[in-house]
Amino acid sequence: MNDLFQGAQVQEEHVEPRRERREHRRAREARRRQRRRRSLIVMTIAVVLVAALSVWAFPKVRDAIADRPTTAAEDFPGPGQGEVEVVIPSGASGAEIGAILQEAGVVASQRAFTGAFGENVNASRIQPGTYTLLKEMAAADAVVALLDPANKAEVTITVPEGFHADHVYERIANVAQIPIEEVEAAAADPAAIGLPAEAGGKPEGWLAAATYSFQPSDDAAAILSTMVKQTVSRLDERGVPADQRQAVLTKASIVEREVNLPEYYGHVARVIENRLADDGEVNGRLQMDSTVLYGLGKVGGVPTQADLDKDTPYNTYLHPGLPPTAIGAPGAAAIDAVLKPPAGDWLYFATVNLDTGETKFAATLEEHNANVAELRKWLEENPQSDG
């Protein structure tokens, strides 16, 4: 019995480990199934969150991509339409010009223009100023347009040597399309045009002979001020003291009106100095036809006896010294002649041929009368040139 009992006991001992192992396996399987369920739940939640996030973010990403510049969308195909004026400031870079053009609707984007600017070897030659351009131009075409002077919407005004102030006002009015009344009003305001005190409020002679470029938006005061500044600059460059400016301009304006050939400027300037200093034959009187004519509102020609007898402040046959103001716009050459006239004893001169401008100078009245006779003979032979 003992053996039987022991056998049964051994059998039971073998059964029990098998049962425990099955229980362990079932427990492990249960844990695995629980972990898989948790993982599945987590994955499901993650998928749901990703899907929700995608639904929220997609429109924003789509809009961002649409707004991002692309090569195809950043440039107009051209050739453009309509017109617009743009102002390119001095020293503007390609990027700065591009920004200006983009804002004005000329190009589609600053980036497109900057690229075209870099590809054009002449782009750095673009000048500052106001330009009339088409809207919606291809960037490369916009660069080319800015390099074409024909597209500059500037007002160019030329003041010839010898022009009277009234003539300058008329030219400003005609070219800049400013009412003459506004031009004259600006000229009558010394402070507005920067007229120096020594001018005595009179712009005559201070509107420098030169060619100017103005912006279409510039008013009469700005235009006249630029001309005055040019005169001041010329005088300052030559070291003319302020208290001598008016005299220099007046003398130079007479030189400008008396002869039309620069080769005679210095001689006439010397005659003026000699006459002002003379206390004999001319006794300080300039006796210049140009001043007489100016006082009568005339331009060019030879004054009649009636003109010479007319008493005006500009009749230098009657009044000694310089006239009250300059009689026109002197050029730089005339100013230089006044500042450094050649040595000479001339007191007289006469233009003996009004077509060629041939002029003869004399130290004595006798020589001068002979030259005047030559002029009169020429006038008789060329009556169409008289006056």
pLDDT in tens, 92-137: 999 999 999 999 999 999 999 999 999 999 999 998 888 999 999 9
Dist CA 151 CA 228 (whole Å) = 28
Looking at residue 65, what is its pLDDT?
Answer: 42
Q: How far is CA 129 from CA 121, 153, 222, 232, 370, in A?
A: 20, 8, 16, 24, 56
Domain co-membership, 256 together with 370: yes
Provide mean pLDDT across the span 33-53.
58
Mean pLDDT of the chain: 85
175 and 127 both lie in a single domain: no
- Residue 297 domain flag: yes
Dihedrals φ, ψ of 240, to 5°? -80, 120
Distances from the Cα of 207 to the Cα of 188, 194, 216, 217, 255, angstroms: 13, 11, 20, 20, 16
Residues 254, 376: one domain? yes
The SS3 of residue 358 is strand
What average pLDDT does the segment 234-255 reach?
A: 97
Q: 9-23, 146-160, 264-278: which range is least confident on average?
A: 9-23
31 domain residue, yes or no:
no
| 349 found inside a domain | yes
**207: burial class by Cβ within 10 Å (0-12, 13-18, 19+)?**
buried
Do the domain assignments include residue 38? no
- 342-364 pLDDT per residue, tens: 999 999 999 899 888 899 999 99
Same domain? 204 vs 120: no
Mean pLDDT calculated for residue range 28-55: 59
Query: Is pLDDT above 70 for 46?
Result: no
Same domain, 263 and 368: yes
- Say yes or no to pLDDT of 161 above 90: yes
Tell me the average pLDDT across 239-249. Answer: 97
The answer to whether residue 178 sits within a structural domain is: yes
* Domain carrying residue 87: 81-151
Which of 179, 214, 237 is a domain's end point? 237
What pLDDT is recorded for position 301? 77
pLDDT of residue 313: 96
- Within a domain: residue 176? yes
Higher pLDDT, 56 or 309: 309
Domain total in the chain? 3
Taking 70 as the threshold, does the pLDDT of residue 31 lie above it? no
**Res 274: pLDDT:** 96
Question: Tell me, what's the pLDDT at 4?
Answer: 43
Residues 342 and 212 grouped into a single domain: no
Domain of residue 125, CATH code: 3.30.1490.480
135, 151, 167 — which closes off a domain?
151
Question: Which of 12-26, 68-82, 274-288 is least confident?
Answer: 12-26
Same domain for 145 and 171, yes or no, is: no
262-266 average pLDDT score:
95
Instruction: Check whether 17 has a pLDDT greater than 50.
Output: yes
208 and 135 in a common domain: no
173 and 214 both lie in a single domain: yes
Domain limit, last residue, from 237, 256, 281: 237
Same domain, 299 and 347: yes
Q: Decide if 36 is inside a domain.
A: no
- Do 376 and 267 belong to one domain? yes
Q: What are phi and psi of 129, to 5 degrees?
A: 145, -175
320 falls within a domain: yes
| Whether residue 265 sits in one domain with residue 224 | no
